[in-house]
Amino acid sequence: MPPRNTPTARQLRVGLELRKMRDSARKTTADAASILGLDRTKITQIEKGLYAISPDRVRTLAREYQEGDSAYVEALASVAAERGKGWWEEYRGVLPGSLLDISELEHRAEGRIRTLQICHAPGLLQTEDTARAIFEMVHPRLPARDLWARIAHRVERVKVLTRPHAVEYDAIIHEAALRMNFGGKAVARAQLEHIRAMTDRPNITVRVITFDAPGFSGAGNAVLYVGGAVPRLDTVQVDSVHGPIFLDGSDQLDNYRETLNAMERSALSPADSIAFMDDLLKTS
């Protein structure tokens, strides 16, 4: 099997976790190669996500590395076993790979998805018109084909919230995001109505941080926290002007987990958040 040219975030994660295990066990790439009967360079390529590894080999390495967390090992083996192409692959070559990585993370989430948004409606709660208005403001301006692709991709992503066995979704939204007029007042009102309507779904929880809040933790940037099968396989995605950034270090995960917990404490309760949006709709 030839090496991958552009491994996905999940493929990179398998290699990274194997590298962490090897380092913790104080093993070398030569040791790992000997365990699997491979060339040492192949181990390096596996740890860089350039080559696939079978679930059985993941288990073999974990056993030799004396990794004691069996749930983590089985979860990692399951990620290594993933094959086939998801719906997002039809956008490969059209959209940046990092956007497709977000789609795959959401699609394969086994824990809840949490998000924090200060200025925009959460991506999975955006209407098509809001998405269009936001993407039309991207600089440099997107060609028509790319603009259409981003909107269509955004709309498709939303299905993780409405499919059978839909993922649990918790959104913390600042009042500023609810008041932004992307696309004009009519589009903004429709967006607020949509968020309010989505809170009727049992898997969706919205908490609002109002302007009256005394403050909140964190740097104020947008955050997406995607739960894995075990906490060690959670992933954080943060926005930047250069595109999405993915974080998966244990300290990073702990920090963002606690930051989101603190933000929830600064926000209104889910019930009060719904009442707040109802009042906002009456005056908008």
Q: What integer pLDDT is reported at residue 219 of this predicted model?
A: 65
223-226, strands of its sheet edge to edge: 204-209, 169-174, 113-117, 223-226, 235-238, 245-247
| Cβ atoms of residues 257 and 225 within 8 Å | yes
Q: In the chain, where does DSSP find H-type helix?
A: 9-24, 29-36, 40-47, 55-64, 70-81, 97-107, 128-135, 144-157, 175-179, 185-198, 250-266, 270-283
Rounded average pLDDT over 157-186: 97
Give the mean pLDDT of the chain: 95
Q: What integer pLDDT is reported at residue 3 of this predicted model?
A: 75
Q: What integer pLDDT is reported at residue 1 of this predicted model?
A: 62
Q: What's the full length of the chain, in residues?
A: 284
* pLDDT tens-digit series, residues 74-97: 999 999 999 888 999 999 999 999
* pLDDT tens-digit series, residues 93-125: 999 999 999 999 999 999 999 999 999 999 999
Question: Residue 178 carries which side chain, given as an amino acid letter?
Answer: L
Rg (CA), the chain: 21
| Cβ atoms of residues 237 and 224 within 8 Å | yes
* Residue ranges of domains in the chain, CATH in brackets: 9-81 (1.10.260.40), 87-283 (3.30.870.10)
* pLDDT tens-digit series, residues 212-237: 998 887 767 899 999 999 999 999 99
| Cβ atoms of residues 133 and 187 within 8 Å | yes
